[in-house]
């Protein structure tokens, strides 16, 4: 436990060193200014979308940038010769990125609670941000294992998001009219994350889709960590160490 706390502290310091925390706070500030001046109807649609982007896409980008900075500076190779376990290294990265994203996202939410009188289910929103960020941070770690550089990560990420969002957009536009699509789309991790985030607002009634999506995110995090992220980390670490 002491090793894990020490590693988390080191990851947070690294996020600060690479200006990831500063950038996330700046982005939160910009979005806050933009949302302050938009119409209430548009605001109600944009705020959940902003939280979704911050906890999914941005989580992947932030952890991806850290991984490539580490690769460039051979930081990870130095850690591997210490007594820490691979699981502790991975957990520290997921926890640190979750803490940092929780702070930046909470900053926006708190501001608009006072400025726009947003009604939040605080506990459910906290759960949503923590588990969604952790889940997508883990996916970002796994995604980074197979990218040659940060540009490739961004390009492939945009392509992946575009492909995953197309079915949801077509469903919202009424192109996909069959009722079965309501169930199929929940397999999409971005759609599941959106359902969990929207459930954090008091104006939305919780239904089976919320509970299914929350279970999907939680079990997805556990299973991906156990069977994808940890098993493949050793090969990644060896490949960047030059062994």
Structural domain that includes position 52: 2-241
What digits encode the pLDDT tens for the residues 185-198?
Answer: 889 998 999 899 99
Domain count for the chain: 1
CA gap 97, 99 in Å, rounded: 5
Give how far Cα 157 sits from Cα of 63, 64, 139, 160, 162, Å.
13, 10, 11, 5, 8
pLDDT value of position 242: 54
pLDDT value of position 91: 94
pLDDT value of position 147: 85
pLDDT value of position 118: 78
pLDDT value of position 94: 95
Distant-in-sequence, close-in-space partners of 224: CB < 8 Å, separation ≥ 6? 135, 138, 139, 142
Low-confidence ranges of the chain (pLDDT < 70): 1, 40-41, 77, 172-173, 241-243
Angle (nearest 5°) at CA 163 between 38 and 58: 50
Please provide the DSSP assignment of 92-154 as one string: HHHHHHHHHHHHHHHHHHHHHHHHS---B-HHHHHHHHHHHHHHHHHHHHHHHTT-SSHHHHH
């Amino acid at each position: 436990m002491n090793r894990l706390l020490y590693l988390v502290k080191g990851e947070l310091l690294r996020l600060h060193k690479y200006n990831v925390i500063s950038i996330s706070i700046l982005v939160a500030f910009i979005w806050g200014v933009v949302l302050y001046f938009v119409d209430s109807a548009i605001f109600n649609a944009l705020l959940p979308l902003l939280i979704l982007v911050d906890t999914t896409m941005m989580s992947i980008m932030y952890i991806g940038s850290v991984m490539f900075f580490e690769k460039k500076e051979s930081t990870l190779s130095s850690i591997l010769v210490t007594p820490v376990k691979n699981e502790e290294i991975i957990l520290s990265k997921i926890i640190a990125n979750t803490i940092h994203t929780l702070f930046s996202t909470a900053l926006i939410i708190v501001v608009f609670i006072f400025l726009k009188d947003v009604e939040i289910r605080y506990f459910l929103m906290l759960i949503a941000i923590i588990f969604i960020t952790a889940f997508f941070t883990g996916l970002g770690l796994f995604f980074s294992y197979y990218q040659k550089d940060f540009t490739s990560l961004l390009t492939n990420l945009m392509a992946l998001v575009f492909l995953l969002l197309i079915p949801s957009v077509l469903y919202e536009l009424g192109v996909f009219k069959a009722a079965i699509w309501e169930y199929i789309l929940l397999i999409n991790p971005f759609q599941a994350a959106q359902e969990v985030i929207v459930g954090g607002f008091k104006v939305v009634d919780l239904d089976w889709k919320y509970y299914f999506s929350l279970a999907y995110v939680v079990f997805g995090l556990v299973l991906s960590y156990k069977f994808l992220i940890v098993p493949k980390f050793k090969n990644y670490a060896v490949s960047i160490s030059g062994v």
